[in-house]
């Protein structure tokens, strides 16, 4: 059984979406893939192909792992543990998801399973790689066990697991991976929008040193009660109208304003700020398209809106251009 789930780009509303403000989110044609098959053993084997990591555990060992992870998460909520320390290894996230699903639905497992995971979504760069992988596993397991799952079920299980990695996630990543398309997302509810026509380019500035969870925690500590989130909402509203109208100049104005707000909350590394400044000097506009980073000089993905792809500027900084387009469809079995 093989399932695919798309990644995403946030066009406006990063961080603000955690505080109940809207975000504009586009699914893109980069995918996480889960392949599920049975084996003759009584163990569940996970293999993360891109990390060259694997694990093999019994159901009892998975239940014990789940208990430890939930205790770690509670310690995080109590302020006793950093979010980065809740999960010790990347595949713990998917093992937690698996046993939560099996026990939550009281599924019978009379044989072992092999679960192979692969993704061409850059990891830790704001494109929803973890959530897409979670959703691909859920989609594959639902098909394997012939579950009558609805979209809300995939979203709920994906969000429950994502908490272990991101702390207090908005839910936008699993939602867009389940549904695909282009949406306005707010308070775990989404309004479907027409796919945007304004062209943009994705630039990878490198994997951030800080995780999404760490960035969210940093922003919460310093800006949780700030009125700046109203400014984010106003920009997102203007951006939505500009995108749907296909008004390139207005979109660029919104992007520049959004970038200033993201810089204010401290999630745009200095080198990335310099890159964006050079894009603006050349007549374009750009902003980070994920959590950014509160440490180091790499900020993950940046969306660039310009008349021509600024290859010379990208090369000068040693960054990477990514060719992506919107994906109207969500997770699916293939």
Q: Which residue has the tokens 């009660």?
A: 225
User: Edge to edge, what strands does the sheet with 201-204 contain?
Assistant: 285-288, 301-305, 201-204, 320-322
Task: Give 262's contacts (C-beta < 8 A, 6+ positions apart).
Answer: 14, 15, 268, 287, 288, 292
What pLDDT was estimated at residue 287?
98
DSSP 42: S
What pLDDT was estimated at residue 273?
98
Q: What is the CATH code of the structural domain delimited by 201-322?
A: 3.30.70.890
Return the axis-axis angle of helices 92-104 and 151-166, rounded to nearest 10°.
140
What pLDDT was estimated at residue 51?
79
* Tens digits of residue pLDDT in 66-81: 999 999 999 999 989 9
**Position 41 pLDDT exceeds 90:** no
Q: Which ranges of 167-211 does DSSP label H, i.e. alpha helix?
A: 172-179
Q: Hey, is 70 helix, strand or coil?
A: helix
| Residue 26: band (very low, low, confident or very high) from pLDDT cuts 50, 70, 90 | very high
* Tens digits of residue pLDDT in 83-136: 888 988 878 999 999 999 999 999 988 889 999 999 999 887 789 898 999 999
Calculate what percentage of the chain has a pLDDT beyond 70.
100
What pLDDT was estimated at residue 182?
98
Which candidate, 151, 227, 225, places its Cα nearest to that of 192?
151
SS3 breakdown of the chain: % helix, strand, coil, rounded to 5?
45, 20, 35
Q: Where are the domains of the chain?
A: 2-192+327-333, 201-322
Q: Which residue has the tokens 């775990």?
A: 188
**Position 268 pLDDT exceeds 90:** yes
Average pLDDT rounded to a whole number, residues 247-251: 97
Contact 263, 40 (CB under 8 A): no
Contact 261, 268 (CB under 8 A): no
Q: Is 2-192+327-333 a CATH 3.30.230.10 domain?
A: yes
Asked which of 149-158, 207-216, 275-284, 313-322 is least confident by mean pLDDT, the reply is 207-216
Contact 116, 34 (CB under 8 A): yes
- Beta strand pairing status for 2-12 and 332-333? antiparallel
Contact 39, 112 (CB under 8 A): yes
Q: Distance between terminal CA atoms of the chain?
A: 8
């Amino acid at each position: 059984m093989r399932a695919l789930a798309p990644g995403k780009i946030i066009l406006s509303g990063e961080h603000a979406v955690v505080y109940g403000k809207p975000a504009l989110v586009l699914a893109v044609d980069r995918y996480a893939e889960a392949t599920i098959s049975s084996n003759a053993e009584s163990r569940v084997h996970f293999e993360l192909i891109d990390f060259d990591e694997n694990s093999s555990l019994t159901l009892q060992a998975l239940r014990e792992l789940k208990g430890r992870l939930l205790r770690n998460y509670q310690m995080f909520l109590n302020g006793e543990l950093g979010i980065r320390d809740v999960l010790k290894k990347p595949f713990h996230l998917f093992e937690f998801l698996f046993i939560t699903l099996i026990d939550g639905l009281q599924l019978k497992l009379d044989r072992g399973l092999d679960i192979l995971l692969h993704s061409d979504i850059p990891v830790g760069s704001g494109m929803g790689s973890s959530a897409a992988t979670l959703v691909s596993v859920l989609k594959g397991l639902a098909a394997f066990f012939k579950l009558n799952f609805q979209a809300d079920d995939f979203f709920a299980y994906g969000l429950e697991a994502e908490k272990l990695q991101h702390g207090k996630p908005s839910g936008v990543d699993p939602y867009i991976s389940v549904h695909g398309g282009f949406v306005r997302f707010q308070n775990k509810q989404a309004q479907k929008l027409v796919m945007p026509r304004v062209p943009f380019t994705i630039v990878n500035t490198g994997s951030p040193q800080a995780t999404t969870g760490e960035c969210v925690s940093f922003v919460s500590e310093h800006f949780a009660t700030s009125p700046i989130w109203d400014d984010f909402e106003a920009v997102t509203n203007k951006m939505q109208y500009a995108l749907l109208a296909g008004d390139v100049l207005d979109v660029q104005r919104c992007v520049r304003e959004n970038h200033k707000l993201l810089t204010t909350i401290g999630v745009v590394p200095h080198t990335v700020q310099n890159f964006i400044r050079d894009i603006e000097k050349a007549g374009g506009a750009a902003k980070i398209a994920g959590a950014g980073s509160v440490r180091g000089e790499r900020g993950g993905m940046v969306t660039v809106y310009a008349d021509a792809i600024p290859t010379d500027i990208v090369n000068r900084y040693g960054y990477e251009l990514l060719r992506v387009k919107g994906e109207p469809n969500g997770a699916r079995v293939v």
